[in-house]
Amino acid sequence: MSCTYAADIIDQAGRWLRDERPVVVATIIALQGSSSRPLASRMVCTDGEEYSGSVSGGCVETDVCRVAREVISDGTPRVIHYGPVRDPLLEVGLNCEGRIEVLLERVDEQWIREARKESTGVIALQCRIERSDPGSGAVSPASVRRTWYPREMAYGEGLVRDAWEAGAPRSIGTTTGILLAEPVLPPPQLLIFGAGPLADDLARLARVLGYTTVISDPRETRFAPGGTAADQVYVSWPAETLEKLIKPDLIPARTFVVSLEHEPRFEDALWEALLRNMAGGMDRPRYIGAIGKAQRAIERDERARERGLDLSPLQPIRTPVGLDIGGKSPAEIALSILAEIVATIHDRPGGAIGALRPL
């Protein structure tokens, strides 16, 4: 599933179609400057003013629904240009200084199937726009063509390659319209080694962010009797767990590893298993973190040297794991860990926004 196709949007579109109601999907296909929603964000609309998802912070969704009714009426795709306006109460536009282009298309069950596909690759959307009015809220007829690039073809050149390597949508303007390249990837995967209340809270919060979650621990007694919040549970040592998880379509750049083990023998088994798989050709996971004080990192390196292991391919192993937000409860620690993972993905230091970028 594409990283920008939210499951709730797809599900809502499916419900409307099953009820024989028309569905229009609105997609941000170009973005300049600041925006409340990222490139390729979507919303779905039906007749009336019902919608799911968003393409702004609430500034233009009602207007999108209005234009969606026109698309429902004649079936012609449209592109709406939204820019900054002085008074959003009187004008159609954005509160921020950004500009977005929103494509509206009527969709059917085939779109649902495509949105739920599990193949990996890049969808290139070519949108030809018959534009005459550049003002905010201007609506232009459009035509759309899509090309599918499977994973093995996504390493070519240009925008498709850029989107694949970044793991995020990319767009450019053309002489006739806009080209949007959107990677279709499996959900990011969080591998948690060491069961317990913290692991459960970490899995629960990660699922809210769209991660698939795994908890692994060789000690069955560490798991709560009522089950866990993880998508998958492995009562096994790290080597066995990784052997089951690693497959041709696993993407290390979308894999995140957290050790919540307090006993060295279990944590060391994880590092050995990761090193063995990396020696076999697997790339380093995007993020590796371990619970414990900074002293544990020193002790870990000493144990590795005694066993003749080189941990450098795994570095950095973030210890202590998480951002310093002062939390003590399992849920607060889980939040700090996920915050650091998100900061790593976006290459940010993880400090307070106001302190880093004064308003």
Do both 89 and 237 map to the same domain? no
- pLDDT of 229 > 70? The answer is yes
- pLDDT of 316 > 60? The answer is yes
pTM above 0.85, yes or no: no
The mean pLDDT of 242-247, rounded to a whole number, is 84
Kind of pairing between the strands at 78-82 and 99-107 = antiparallel
Do both 246 and 337 map to the same domain? yes
- pLDDT of 302 > 90? The answer is yes
For residue 183, tell me if it sits in a domain.
no
d(CA 150, CA 153): 5
- pLDDT of 186 > 90? The answer is no
DSSP run (H or E) holding 258: strand 255-259
Q: Do 24 and 107 meet the contact criterion of CB atoms below 8 Å apart? A: yes
Average pLDDT, the chain: 90
Do both 136 and 198 map to the same domain? no
Do both 289 and 209 map to the same domain? yes
- pLDDT of 4 > 60? The answer is no
pLDDT > 70 in the chain, percent: 95
Which pLDDT value is given to residue 357? 59
Which pLDDT value is given to residue 117? 75
For 215-224, the pLDDT digits (tens) are: 999 999 999 8
Q: Which of 142, 175, 199 is the last residue of a domain?
A: 142
For residue 158, tell me if it sits in a domain.
no
For residue 179, tell me if it sits in a domain.
no
The mean pLDDT of 209-220, rounded to a whole number, is 94
Q: Using the structure block, give the residue that is written with the tokens 């599990």.
A: 118
Number of Cβ within a 10 Å radius of residue 49: 13
Q: Can you state the angle between helices 197-208 and 330-345, rounded to 10 degrees?
A: 40
Do both 206 and 284 map to the same domain? yes
Question: Binning pLDDT at 50, 70 and 90, where does residue 132 land?
Answer: low
Do both 205 and 130 map to the same domain? no
Q: Comparing 7-16, 79-88, 172-181, 235-244, which segment has the lowest mean pLDDT?
A: 79-88
Do both 105 and 214 map to the same domain? no
For residue 81, tell me if it sits in a domain.
yes
For residue 156, tell me if it sits in a domain.
no
Which pLDDT value is given to residue 151? 79
Do both 138 and 271 map to the same domain? no
For 271-298, the pLDDT digits (tens) are: 999 999 999 888 899 999 999 988 988 9
Q: Residue 348 to residues 339, 345, 352, 359: CA-CA distances in angstroms?
A: 10, 8, 11, 18
d(CA 41, CA 56): 9
d(CA 22, CA 190): 37
Sheet holding 42-45, edge to edge: 51-53, 42-45, 23-32, 99-107, 78-82, 138-150, 121-129, 177-184, 170-173
DSSP run (H or E) holding 201: helix 197-208
User: What CATH number is associated with residue 308?
Assistant: 3.40.50.720
Do both 335 and 194 map to the same domain? yes
Do both 112 and 23 map to the same domain? yes
For residue 162, tell me if it sits in a domain.
no
For residue 242, tell me if it sits in a domain.
yes
Q: Comparing 98-112, 131-145, 164-178, 294-308, which segment has the lowest mean pLDDT?
A: 131-145
Which pLDDT value is given to residue 153? 79
Q: Comparing 37-51, 128-142, 190-204, which segment has the lowest mean pLDDT?
A: 128-142
Which pLDDT value is given to residue 115? 82
Q: Which residues contact 335 (CB under 8 A, 6 or more apart)?
A: 205, 325, 327
The mean pLDDT of 337-354, rounded to a whole number, is 89
Which pLDDT value is given to residue 181? 95
Do both 106 and 245 map to the same domain? no
Ramachandran quadrant class, 48 (left: phi over 0; alpha: psi -120 to 50; beta: rest): left
For 16-69, the pLDDT digits (tens) are: 999 999 999 999 999 999 888 999 999 999 998 899 999 998 889 999 999 999
For residue 73, tell me if it sits in a domain.
yes
Question: Binning pLDDT at 50, 70 and 90, where does residue 356 land?
Answer: low
For 61-120, the pLDDT digits (tens) are: 999 999 999 999 999 999 999 998 887 677 788 888 889 999 999 999 998 888 887 778
* Structural domain count of the chain: 2
Q: Residue 315 to residues 58, 100, 284, 285: CA-CA distances in angstroms?
A: 42, 39, 9, 10
Domain with 69, as residue range(s), is 7-118+126-142
The mean pLDDT of 153-163, rounded to a whole number, is 82
Do both 235 and 99 map to the same domain? no
Question: Binning pLDDT at 50, 70 and 90, where does residue 2 land?
Answer: very low
